[in-house]
Every structure is written in structure tokens, then in C-alpha cells.
Amino acid sequence: MFLKAFIFLLNISILFTGMPEFVAPEIANGKGVGTPADIWSVGVITYLLLSGISPFRGGNDRETLSNVQKGQINFDVDAFSSVSCEAKDFIAKLLVFQGAGRLNVRDALQHPWLKTADREMNDSVPIPTDRLKSYYLRLKGKLSLMLDCNGT
């Protein structure tokens, strides 16, 4: 508490390290880190891998953090047209705004979508990668710019 008051009095900004679109709402709101925040990140990564788009990406980092702080997700109709209901349910249960409401690790591993992973895969509906490639190129450009600005 003392440190928090001291930081407030000095008006020091604490910078996040990492990508804002993967940060859980409780971290974006300055409430701390825990296993539920990691579960949130798994949800964001799963959303991204299955759709090729980020669930909270804004025009800039500030807008992205604002989207995370709102914690509202929707499943883009085009991007999720070939994604199973079980996969969407898994993501939705990982991206619950309140950390206490998210799946814990044990329950996530027992989710029906993951339980089907040991069965024979059905490759008749391939996951489109064009959106994911586009996301990667934007990310690569952003990381390159960050490295250039840091003199590395």
C-alpha cells in the first residue's frame, strides 16, 4: 500500500512490457497478475490462431487496452464460419471479464473441445491462414519499429 501511495504521489507511470492485446483486463486496470490472467492470454491466442484476427486489437495500443478493459468479445462471422461451437465455447469461457469466472487450468484441460483433440482430426475444413499471415506481418512491422526506436 505504501508503494502504491508513493507512486501515486510521484505521478509515476508504470509501463507494461509486452503486447497490450494479450493483457487481461485486471492487468490493464492495474489490479495485478495471477493464473486467471494467463488463462485470459490463452483465450486470446486461441481466438487469434483459429480466426487470424485479434479479439481486442485497436488502431493503436491505447485503443487496444481500452478494448481489453471493456472485455467484450464477439466472434466475427466470416472468421469463425468454419470454427466449431465447442471451440467458440472454449474461447468464451477463457475470455470471461472477471478472472474468478474464467475456467481454471484443470477445467480448461477437461473442456470438450480439448478432449476431442485425441480423436482423429478432420482436415476437411482447413483453417484459413490469410488473416493470420496479415496479422503476423503487422506484428512483425510493429516489432521492427520498436527495435529501431530502442536502438537495438
pLDDT for the residue numbered 3:
45
Residue 4 pLDDT class (50, 70, 90 cuts)? very low
Identity (one letter) of the amino acid at 56? F
Distance CA 106, CA 111 (A): 9
pLDDT for the residue numbered 109:
94
Catalogue all structural domains in the chain, each as residue range(s) with its CATH number. 19-117+127-149 (1.10.510.10)
Please calculate the CA angle 84-86-87 and round it to the nearest 5 degrees.
70
Each residue of 78-93: pLDDT tens digit? 999 989 999 999 999 9
How much is the pTM? 0.72
pLDDT for the residue numbered 116:
83
Q: Are 104 and 38 in contact (CB under 8 A)?
A: no
Q: Looking at the chain, which runs of residues are DSSP E strands?
A: none
Each residue of 18-60: pLDDT tens digit? 678 888 999 888 887 889 999 999 999 999 999 989 999 888 8
Using the predicted structure, report yes or no on whether residue 108 has a pLDDT greater than 50: yes
Please state, for a pLDDT cut of 70, what percent of the chain lies above it: 68
Distance CA 59, CA 51 (A): 19
